[in-house]
Amino acid sequence: MSIAPQPASPTKDTAMLTARVDRELLAAFDAVAEGRGGRSALLRTVLQQSLKHVADAPRIAPRADSPSNRVNLRFTDVETAVLDHRAAQRGVDRAGWIKALVRRHLALKAGVDDGLRDAVAPIRMQLTRIGRNLNQAMKAGNAAMMADSGLQIDRELRRIADMREEINEQIEALAAALRGETAFWEVAD
């Protein structure tokens, strides 16, 4: 059987297939591929022949929403450690966290992943409760100030008002994250 070499230049009708194999298997494959057009040509031939052997096997259609494009990234050890740490904080793996970041930045996903939503929602509720308590304390302080002008509580009331403002900012930031706004994912340059 002779194996005709396949064209080496990629065209728009070709796709790339990547497989990880151990070094010994690759060395044996390379030895067979030598003189048969190289790795790509031999692999194409092997795939074509394998498909002929299973021609009658049932076919399962790929999922319509399954991602088919791959992007390779390289990170330093420090960057990888930070990625792993941040992913662990979100309860996802490194690839899942990177995908979530990219999708948020591209605004392709409206919602927030369930792990983040589950982690953030109780915090938002607690901040809302604290904000209500601060509002009640402000009202009580204002009432006490009016009843007895000799009290020096205006400084404390200002402090409470500042805390209330900060809490409201945090509540809005968390609400934005839950709505899936991309500003939550932005980082300083």
Each residue's pLDDT tens digit, 16-39: 888 888 899 999 999 999 988 998
Q: Residue 81 above 50 pLDDT?
A: yes
Percent of the chain beyond pLDDT 70?
A: 72
Cα–Cα distance measured from residue 172 to residue 166, given in angstroms and rounded to the nearest whole number: 10
Each residue's pLDDT tens digit, 177-187: 666 655 555 66
Query: For residue 24, what pLDDT is reported?
Result: 92
Tokens of 165: 């403002």
Closest CA to 91 of 124, 121, 126, 119: 119
Query: For residue 28, what pLDDT is reported?
Result: 92
Query: For residue 1, what pLDDT is reported?
Result: 45
DSSP single-letter state for residue 72: -
Each residue's pLDDT tens digit, 138-149: 777 777 767 665
Each residue's pLDDT tens digit, 25-78: 999 999 999 988 998 899 999 989 888 888 887 777 776 776 778 888 999 999
- What are the φ/ψ torsions at residue 103 (nearest 5 degrees)? -65, -35
Cα–Cα distance measured from residue 43 to residue 48, given in angstroms and rounded to the nearest whole number: 9
Task: Round to the nearest angstrom and report the end-to-end CA distance of the chain.
Answer: 60
